[in-house]
């Protein structure tokens, strides 16, 4: 595969984004993947993607978007720093549901 950028027009939530991305990775033989998200969301997005691609030898590269802690998150109308507690709660919920990868032992990617 040549270098490329795949864009998804719309996703209702992280799980839909991850499902679509995992399909694109497998379909196009992607070897590395950059996950770009606000810093408050990146840990959960990264661990969700890692879980979806656990058996794939894909290198995942976290790339936090620059965002001031005082910036207003348009979807929610609150400051970015106010998103952190909710993200931590969702991370714990997803971990208990088995939707997050929480152990890197045995991962085939670099």
pLDDT band at 106 (very low <50, low <70, confident <90, very high): low
Q: In whole angstroms, what is the distance from residue 92 CA to residue 85 CA?
A: 11
**What are the residue ranges spanned by the domains of the chain?**
14-96
Q: What is the pLDDT of residue 90?
A: 85
Instruction: Write out pLDDT tens, residues 49-81.
Output: 988 888 888 999 999 999 898 999 988 899 999
Q: How much is the pTM?
A: 0.76
Q: What is the pLDDT of residue 64?
A: 94
Instruction: Write out pLDDT tens, residues 2-53.
Output: 667 777 777 787 788 888 989 989 898 899 999 988 988 898 888 889 888 8
Q: In whole angstroms, what is the distance from residue 52 CA to residue 44 CA?
A: 12
Q: What is the pLDDT of residue 59?
A: 92
Instruction: Write out pLDDT tens, residues 85-100.
Output: 888 888 888 888 887 7
List the structure tokens of 106.
């045995």
> How many C-beta atoms lie closer than 10 Å to residue 62's C-beta?
14
Give whole-number Cα distances, 20 to 15, 17, 25, 63, 110, in Å. Answer: 9, 5, 9, 19, 22
């Amino acid at each position: 595969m040549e270098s490329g950028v795949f864009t998804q027009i719309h996703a209702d939530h992280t799980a839909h984004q991850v499902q679509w991305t995992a399909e694109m990775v497998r379909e196009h033989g992607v070897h590395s993947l950059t996950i770009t998200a606000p810093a408050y969301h990146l840990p959960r997005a990264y661990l969700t993607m890692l879980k979806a691609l656990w058996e794939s030898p894909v290198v995942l590269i976290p790339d936090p978007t620059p965002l001031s802690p005082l910036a207003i998150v348009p979807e929610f109308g609150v400051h970015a720093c106010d998103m952190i507690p909710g993200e931590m709660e969702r991370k714990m919920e997803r971990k208990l549901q088995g939707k997050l990868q929480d152990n890197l032992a045995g991962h085939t990617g670099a």
